[in-house]
Amino acid sequence: MAVLVTGGTGFIGSHTVAELLSAGREAIVIDNLSNSKECVLDRIERITGKRPAFRKVDLLDPEGLERVFAEFPQIDSVIHFAGLKAVGESVSKPLLYYENNIFGTVNLCKAMEKAGVKRIVFSSSATVYGKPDSVPIREDFPLRATNPYGETKLVIERILSDIAAADPEWSVSVLRYFNPIGAHESGLIGEDPKGIPNNLLPYIMKVAGGKLPCLSVFGSDYHTHDGTGVRDYIHVVDLAKAHLCALDRAAAVKGTEVFNLGTGKGYSVLDIVAAYEKATGLKIPYRITDRRPGDIDECYADPAKARELLGWSAQYGIDRMCEDSARWQRMNPDGYGD
Ligand code: WQD
């Protein structure tokens, strides 16, 4: 049986496809290539010795989706990564995000239902918690997204749980990621954002590679050990492996389950800068600037539920995350290139 991976040429998607193929699973990848490149499939083949079937499909094309399920009747589950994910962009272009992320998911679920595929693992985000009342964060904490991107994740979680409530044959696994960073140890796949990165690690990578002059540290007056923002950074390969555990659990359990995927440890911006300097032997120039609107002081997971029910926990620490990021950056100074 096969797993359909939407957004499978993206950062987390590509690492998950590599883990699926390495574990002997059949993966079929669809992506509209709006924020990734088809050459990622070549890299996956170099890592695993296998090349997944690929179809360029946009989730806003219902007929295209139906054709995939008709062409590959062996699909029995879906891992759904495809979606727009830039918080700042979602604030300036909310309609784009609501249409793409929500309408796309509805189209996907309708195509799944028509094909009789009723198992889905969904890529959600810790952003659904907004500013938590306390840390570490458990899955039963209040949900209060603070931007349209986070709202789309919340709405999609509710859509999926409503589908599962209406049809007891559905299995829904919602995975709330904290801060995915790092890269495959081969250095062949990694994070390759377009333009100026919004997120911390890709920005630091560009500073280390001489593409950007200096890191701006957004605020040093947060209520954290050194005043800079604290987050739960998790290695993308750890995250990828969690998806295989979630697939296995969804094969055995019907209904909806939600899991926080983090290490349970928080690191500050300056902790990350120090770790990246240690991994590369480089100095990362930075300056303290104003807070970024919407940022929170600290956010890290209570990973107990995933450990107990998925039999999964993060294995890699911050040094390995930075070493693997640095290797990807050194081997691919221009990412996947043009
Ligand atoms: C991390 C820390 C910043 C950039 C976002 C999304 C979340 C998820 C992960 C999709 C914060 C600081 C950052 C910079 C900085 N994405 N920072 N200078 O904001 O925790 O989460 O990405 O699912 O949904 O909200 O990640 O990497 O942007 O920021 O000082 O140039 O680094 O203030 O403390 P964030 P981030």
Centroid of ligand 1 to alpha carbon of 292 (angstroms): 9
Q: Looking at domain 2-181+233-263, which of 3.40.50.720, 3.30.1490.20, 3.30.565.10, 3.40.50.2000 is its CATH number?
A: 3.40.50.720
Residues 257, 236: Cα–Cα separation, whole Å: 21
Average pLDDT, the chain: 97
Centroid of ligand 1 to alpha carbon of 86 (angstroms): 10
Q: pTM of the full predicted structure?
A: 0.98
* CB 15 within 8 Å of CB 189: yes
Which listed residue (129, 149, 222, 316) is catalytic? 149
Residue nearest to atom 13 of ligand 1 (CA): 200
The token pair at 236 is: 């993308």
Q: What integer is the mean pLDDT of 254-259?
A: 98
The domain limits of the chain are: 2-181+233-263
Ligand 1 atom with the smallest distance to the CA of 218 is 30
Give the amino acid at 247. Answer: L
Question: pLDDT of 280-295, one tens digit each?
Answer: 999 999 999 999 999 9
Ligand 1 atom with the smallest distance to the CA of 295 is 33
Question: pLDDT of 195-245, one tens digit each?
Answer: 999 999 999 999 999 999 999 999 999 999 999 999 999 999 999 999 999
